[in-house]
Structure 1
Amino acid sequence: MFDLKSKIIVITGGAGLLGSRMVQVIQKHGGTPVVFDNDLKKINELKKNNKNKIDNIYYYKIDITKKDQIKKIVNVISKKFKKIDCLINNAGFNPKLGLKKNKFENFSLKQWEKEIQIGLTGSLLVTQEVVKKMIKQNHGNIINISSDLGIIAPNQFLYGKNNKKPISYSVVKHGIIGFSKYLATYLAEYNIRSNALCPGGISNNQPKKFINKIKKLIPLQRMAKINDYDGIILYMCSDYSSYMTGSTIICDGGRSTW
């Protein structure tokens, strides 16, 4: 049942750090990953890294805040494959730290709207179009990627005096969980499931000082390795999770338990 053979799986933000790993996991287990991303450079890099697997990975440059673009590409995919089995809402805006503008009292409305548009509105627009296809086929699986910071507040002491995690990040990641639960109840009659995944931070060449600080907040005393989420993604995409909907899976090394 962990075999994803014949499953068509759309991944937003599919050329990013976690998204590109999802592509590998899905492809390795027989699924067909369909990558949505707005960063052409990252898409080309992903293509290069998967050049020997090009036949069953599909790439689309897309702005998920543009409804017309989404509708057009979802129709292309639906026509090509006759179905969409799973949607992973993974796209989001991860703000740079070390910026005074991230401080709550200085946070601009323009930046707020930009990050909400990408993290929440983008998920709404893509899901609306994909769900129209899933309702017709009477099955589907939606996986919404939140964060451990969708469960807890950021510890601002990690980032230093002028470095703050902005309010928008918490609002988006908490909102994704509510979005997921709403879909689970609304879409159940159509045999469409919806669950949220809250991963912890992934080790990715962060400064040693930061790593040493955050390790103290995690019972397992380390950040995640990129492959730590392989099994969770595989389970959530597969038929083994067929009775799970409306759930929030936390995989953060135990950080949110403290």
Structure 2
Amino acid sequence: MTAPSARYDLSGRTALVTGAGGLLGRQHTTALVEAGARVVVTDIGLAPCETAIATIREIAPKADLVPFALDVTSQESIQAAAIDLSSRGVEIDILVNNAAIDPKVMSTPGVMHSSRFEAFPVAQWQTEIAVGLTGAMLCAQVFGTPMAQRGRGVILNIASDLGVIAPDQRIYRQPGVGRDEEQPVKPVTYSVIKHGLIGLTKYLATYWADRGVRVNAISPGGVFNNQDPAFVERLTRLIPMGRMAKVDEYRSAVQFLCSDASSYMTGQNLVMDGGRSVW
């Protein structure tokens, strides 16, 4: 009989995490390291990769981490990374599509806020879609194809509870802003990208089902990161558990989805949102 812990063991496997320099990117990387994987830590530049690695090594000094600058919006950059890694004998067994732009919004009195749908800039739409959705497709294409050729691999797409439900724009309202059109909102791109990632997950899961590549998504809820107390209060009223997630609460789920513990699971979206999408 195989011990339960052995199914989570990623020793001998190499994972690649995009957007690894971000808040959750570091957590996903830490989760994989804890399970024994070597991790290629990628971001738009080397500096955020190295900062993330330094932070992770504070708790895991022996972690096998490889920094790599990667522009997920550029097919050439991704292909060059794949060729470089292959030349070093590095095969990617696990791809975590985490790179995204999470826009922060502030209001300018007297002006329709640019986050609102009526005024949303096409250039911003294209930029955010390029990073969060097209980037995931390109990385899956470049790193997933060799997985299918080898007959084994895992892709995990990082979606969001807002890939399951629509944003409640009331929680983003700012006091002292008079007209509704001046109030910031969660932009249309965020929801479209996260819904799209879940669609990409289902497509790839069935496309490569007979090639040994499993593809799943996780939809985290909001993570507490010292946000404005008024915002936190409004959000937590929408969550049955009455709080936002702790920054490290998704690690075990990532380990489950990237390991043999979930060997009969593909095409699924694991929602971890404190129950928000249930209400």
- State the alpha-carbon separation in 2 of the partners of residues 115 and 24 from structure 1: 26
Q: Residue type matched to 2:128 in 1?
A: E
What does residue 241 of structure 2 align with?
220
- State the alpha-carbon separation in 1 of the partners of residues 62 and 21 from structure 2: 14
- Deviations, residues 135-191 of structure 1 (Å, cap 9, x unaligned): 221111110110000000000000115120000111000000000000000011111
- State the alpha-carbon separation in 1 of the partners of residues 166 and 67 from structure 2: 34
What does residue 4 of structure 2 align with?
none
Structure 1, unpaired ranges of 5+: none
Choose which of 165, 189, 192 in structure 1 pairs with 2:213.
192
Identical-residue share of aligned pairs (%): 40
Say if 1:98 and 1:159, in contact at 8 Å, map to a contact too: no
- State the alpha-carbon separation in 1 of the partners of residues 89 and 244 from structure 2: 38
What does residue 10 of structure 1 align with?
16
Choose which of 131, 138, 142 in structure 2 pairs with 1:125.
138
Give 1 or 2 for the bigger CA radius of gyration: 2
Structure with greater proportional helix content: 1
Matched, 1:137 2:150: yes
Deviation at 1:26, TM superposition (A): 1.2
- State the alpha-carbon separation in 1 of the partners of residues 228 and 23 from structure 2: 17
Say if 2:46 and 2:67, in contact at 8 Å, map to a contact too: no
What does residue 237 of structure 1 align with?
258
- State the alpha-carbon separation in 2 of the partners of residues 47 and 237 from structure 1: 20
If the length of structure 1 is used for normalisation, what is the TM-score?
A: 0.96
Choose which of 137, 146, 154 in structure 1 pairs with 2:159.
146
Which is worse superposed, 87-96 or 41-50? 41-50
Q: CA RMSD in A?
A: 1.4
Choose which of 28, 33, 42 in structure 1 pairs with 2:39.
33
If the length of structure 2 is used for normalisation, what is the TM-score?
A: 0.89
What is the DSSP-based 3-state SS (H/G/I as helix, E as strand, rest coil) of the residue aligned with 2:155? strand
Give the length in aligned residue pairs.
Answer: 258
What is the DSSP-based 3-state SS (H/G/I as helix, E as strand, rest coil) of the residue aligned with 1:6? coil
Say if 2:78 and 2:139, in contact at 8 Å, map to a contact too: yes
- State the alpha-carbon separation in 1 of the partners of residues 132 and 35 from structure 2: 28
Matched, 1:47 2:68: no
What is the DSSP-based 3-state SS (H/G/I as helix, E as strand, rest coil) of the residue aligned with 2:190? helix
What does residue 188 of structure 2 align with?
167
Which is worse superposed, 27-36 or 211-220? 27-36
Matched, 1:111 2:104: no
- State the alpha-carbon separation in 1 of the partners of residues 140 and 187 from structure 2: 26
Matched, 1:59 2:74: no
- State the alpha-carbon separation in 2 of the partners of residues 194 and 158 from structure 1: 32
Say if 1:78 and 1:133, in contact at 8 Å, map to a contact too: no
Matched, 1:71 2:92: no
- Deviations, residues 57-80 of structure 1 (Å, cap 9, x unaligned): 011111111111100111222343
- State the alpha-carbon separation in 2 of the partners of residues 44 and 4 from structure 1: 23
Deviation at 1:39, TM superposition (A): 4.2
Aligned CA distance change for structure 1 residues 208 and 39 (closer, same or farther; 3 Å): farther
Which is worse superposed, 79-88 or 229-238? 79-88
- State the alpha-carbon separation in 2 of the partners of residues 216 and 31 from structure 1: 38
Which is worse superposed, 113-122 or 69-78? 69-78
- State the alpha-carbon separation in 2 of the partners of residues 67 and 54 from structure 1: 32
Q: Residue type matched to 2:238 in 1?
A: L
- State the alpha-carbon separation in 2 of the partners of residues 68 and 82 from structure 1: 19
Matched, 1:158 2:166: no
Matched, 1:84 2:92: yes
* Stretches of 4+ aligned residues off by more than 3 angstroms: 50-55
